[in-house]
Structure 1
Amino acid sequence: MIGIAHRLCGVLLLCLLATPAAFAQDGTASSVPQPYQLMRTLQSLQNEAATGNRAAHAAQGRLLRDLEQPLMQQDATVWADPRNTRAIVQYVLSGGQPGVLQELLKRGEPAGLPAGLAPGALAYVMGDLAQAKTLLMPLDPAGLHESLAGQLALVQASLIMRSDQKQALKLLDQARLLAPGSLVEEGALRRAVFIAAEINELDRLEKATAQYIRRFDRSVYADNFRQSFATGLVSFDIGRDPAKFPQLVATLRAFDREQQRAVLLIIARDALVKGRFEQARRAAEEVAKLPGGDQATVARASLYTAAARIALDRGDGALDTLKRIDPHRLAPVEQEIHRTALRIAAQIVDGTASATATPSGTPEPSDLDPGVKRLVAAAERSLGQAQALLDPPTKGDSTP
């Protein structure tokens, strides 16, 4: 794959050098690479990135920037060809510089494009989402050329994913069907997982997750997908219904064991923070069932199981479990939970648990033991630090 990426890079770099000025001597406009030809090569690099080719991913990012000048220097006659006007919209929606489309629009509606598509695309990449919605939502992606159809459906889904998640999912399905095997399909599946988690649709979440892992597990964006998946579970309370928990576990089987453990531990910690002790216990016990975990993983699973049991059955046996945990195997953000759990479990065993004020934050059941409230407060404090570790740094990379 890396060899393919290098060959594609070579072709595109030659195209970049072949600007109109380079061909001024022979005066043959046909010798100048057309925008649609440049975009075909760039799209090939992007699709390679979707299959996991990191060299292609690095190259397409650079080339998106480098293409602006050759495109700006095109002879005015090339814009009479709809293939080239489609290519410019595709370039901009793929993360390219918007300047060339701005210049093209100064001449009126580009040739061969439905009214509103080009200015709507420009509004979208410039952050004017209200204008983009007005111009782009009335368009039918299925009526566009195949080079743009999937991208338009993906953009439309992004525009309404906060206001109409059901329709956004339909548009994401359409994007996948219109651009199979491409970076557009990969991006559509990632967004579908996020929306399914947000609206608590486990069936859809399971389907989209399995499809993504089956088709794009090697994608350069796969790590981002896994992080979004786990964050979605945490942020939108997926799995809080005990009746649906087995289905959640089934969904996680699309991941390898290490990834399953990581996600389940996030669920266990977050459930503990929010006072969903049964969910915390079940998630931690699922971690323990997975073979091959290291000692740190075993310690973390034991911590959350024991901490949840303090609330569920007054800590019967939890104190002994907590005492056997080596705190040095826990992350610093979990050590406070361990210390607090040990103290509360000991107080329960001794019958000396004392009332404390309930901290501000997530509402807790009114019948919580005061000691358990302190445990939740400690978990809440730890969560803020843990979340900073979970959130990946913001990158300037544009992804579908």
Structure 2
Amino acid sequence: MRIALVAVLRWAVLGWTGLMVLPLHAEPVTPPYEMVRTLQSLQAQVAQGNSQALAAQRALVMRMEKDFMDAPALVWQDPRNARAAVVHLLSGGHPAVMRELLKFDPLPMVDVDLMNGALAYVEGREQQAAELLSRFDPRELPPSLGGHVALALAAVTVRDQPETALTYLGLARLLLPGSLVEEAALRREVFVAGTLDDIERFQSLSITYLRRFRNSIYAPDFRRRFMMAIDTLGFAQSPEKFALIESLFNEFDEDTQRTLYLRMARTALLHGQLDIVRKVVDRAFPLAMGGTREEALLKLYKAGGAMDAQNIKLVRDTLWSVDKTLLEPNELDLLDAVYSVLNSVRHWPEPPARVIGEFSSYRPGNKPADPKWITPVMSRANQLLTETDKLLEQAGNP
């Protein structure tokens, strides 16, 4: 594998010298369709996390741009080469190549609408791209091209027709399994399912992605968007939704798990889901190193999740152990809020039977059922309230 990558890099970089001696518009030594096969092989390795393949891919794309621009019109009369030009464009190739090919007479041996649709897509003209590319059924194209077209169709329809986009993304995965197209389609499919609030599909697709492409060069983008979805889909705001997503966290590496748990603990605390806070904090503590900001945050969330009369001492001691110097300003605000709640918690004695409670509002004529419960201070207060009621009644009836 390493030897193959070195060979591609050598070919892509050193090949520039060889081009200097070729006459203008000379036919390339390697046919375009074979270059595209090499490109897709490299992209499959990128999907598995090979950073050397990523560098080789970039070099190859640049070499292809040069060779394609120099190739004579006759080369593009081979349908395989003409389709390769479209694949190259949809794989990150420069649009100038396609614009040059559209000037040829005769045109390359591929539908001109497909060429113009791909060009419109990479240049950001979504409406025109959707109109042109929707004329083609990806299943009727060769898989190496159909998968790219399906991925492009998903991108230009997802805003207005998310269900249709999901269909295209699933089709792209089926047409090019194991490729970078499948990786990109699956990564996007996860979050389209999330926007449709399809929690079960979001969960199953996430597991599929993590098990097939957890080492992908683009996996960090998946993790970033997954964390955003945790908030958007309300997993920390509902015990039922949390139960659905709980097992999925085990699919991530420990660093990502810790970050996810911290994010979920904060969101759950702010929404009053203390059971979720306690569960998440318990799982995150073993993943946090002592003396770090993450540990300080977990102590803060632990205190907030344990806030009740029976745990006052535990909450107080936990808050006192938080190193404030490690926290950001907004986290210090949350710490102050937890302290404020702590200072408001009191454990009052149980009132006698048939009494509403110690926080019930005063009403004239209310009398406790058990005289033993009445203290001298309470009696004096009741007397003053009674006298005040009489004075107010007299003032209202002169």
TM-score, normalised to structure 1, is 0.77
* Other-structure match for 2:376: none
Q: Which amino acid aligns with 1:293?
A: A
Deviating more after overlay: 232-241 vs 33-42: 232-241
Structure-to-structure mapping, 1:207-246, within 5 angstroms: 207-246=204-243
CA distance change for structure 1 residues 14 and 180 in 2, over 3 Å: closer, same or farther? farther
The reply to whether residue 323 of structure 1 matches residue 317 of structure 2 is: no
Asked if structure 1 preserves the Cα contact closer than 8 Å seen for 2:265 and 2:277, the reply is yes
Tell me the distance in 2 between the aligned counterparts of 1:139 and 1:106: 23
Asked if structure 2 preserves the Cα contact closer than 8 Å seen for 1:175 and 1:184, the reply is yes
Tell me the distance in 1 between the aligned counterparts of 2:87 and 2:18: 21
Tell me the distance in 1 between the aligned counterparts of 2:126 and 2:243: 39
**Residue of structure 1 aligned with 2:283, choices 263, 285, 289:** 289
Q: RMSD over aligned Cα, in angstroms? A: 2.8
After TM superposition, give the deviation of residue 111 of structure 1 in Å: 4.0
**Residue of structure 2 aligned with 1:119, choices 116, 129, 135:** 116
Tell me the distance in 2 between the aligned counterparts of 1:335 and 1:2: 50
CA distance change for structure 1 residues 111 and 31 in 2, over 3 Å: closer, same or farther? closer
Tell me the distance in 2 between the aligned counterparts of 1:67 and 1:48: 19
The reply to whether residue 277 of structure 1 matches residue 276 of structure 2 is: no
Q: What secondary structure, in the 3-state scheme, does the structure 2 residue paired with 1:116 have?
A: helix
Structure-to-structure mapping, 1:85-164, within 5 angstroms: 85-107=82-104, 110-114=107-111, 116-164=113-161
Q: What secondary structure, in the 3-state scheme, does the structure 2 residue paired with 1:219 have?
A: coil
Q: Which amino acid aligns with 1:257?
A: E
Structure with the larger RCO, 1 or 2 (CA within 8 Å, 6+ apart): 1
* Other-structure match for 1:6: 6
After TM superposition, give the deviation of residue 341 of structure 1 in Å: 2.3
Tell me the distance in 1 between the aligned counterparts of 2:17 and 2:278: 58
* Other-structure match for 2:61: 64
- Percent pairwise identity: 36
CA distance change for structure 1 residues 155 and 48 in 2, over 3 Å: closer, same or farther? same
The reply to whether residue 46 of structure 1 matches residue 40 of structure 2 is: no
Q: What secondary structure, in the 3-state scheme, does the structure 1 residue paired with 2:197 have?
A: coil
Asked if structure 2 preserves the Cα contact closer than 8 Å seen for 1:8 and 1:45, the reply is no
**Residue of structure 1 aligned with 2:331, choices 319, 331, 334:** 334
CA distance change for structure 1 residues 5 and 306 in 2, over 3 Å: closer, same or farther? same
**Residue of structure 2 aligned with 1:301, choices 278, 295, 298:** 298
Tell me the distance in 2 between the aligned counterparts of 1:132 and 1:31: 30
Aligned pairs, number: 343
After TM superposition, give the deviation of residue 31 of structure 1 in Å: 6.1
CA distance change for structure 1 residues 348 and 287 in 2, over 3 Å: closer, same or farther? closer
Structure having the higher Rg: 2
Tell me the distance in 2 between the aligned counterparts of 1:331 and 1:231: 20
After TM superposition, give the deviation of residue 248 of structure 1 in Å: 0.8
After TM superposition, give the deviation of residue 348 of structure 1 in Å: 4.5
* Other-structure match for 2:255: 258
Runs of 4 or more off by more than 6 Å in structure 1?
none
* Deviation string, structure 1 residues 184-203 (Cα, Å, up to 9, x no partner): 01101110122122222221
Q: Which amino acid aligns with 2:21?
A: A
Gaps of at least 5 residues in structure 2 are 349-398
Tell me the distance in 2 between the aligned counterparts of 1:127 and 1:268: 39
Asked if structure 2 preserves the Cα contact closer than 8 Å seen for 1:154 and 1:175, the reply is yes
The reply to whether residue 22 of structure 1 matches residue 55 of structure 2 is: no
Q: Which amino acid aligns with 1:22?
A: V
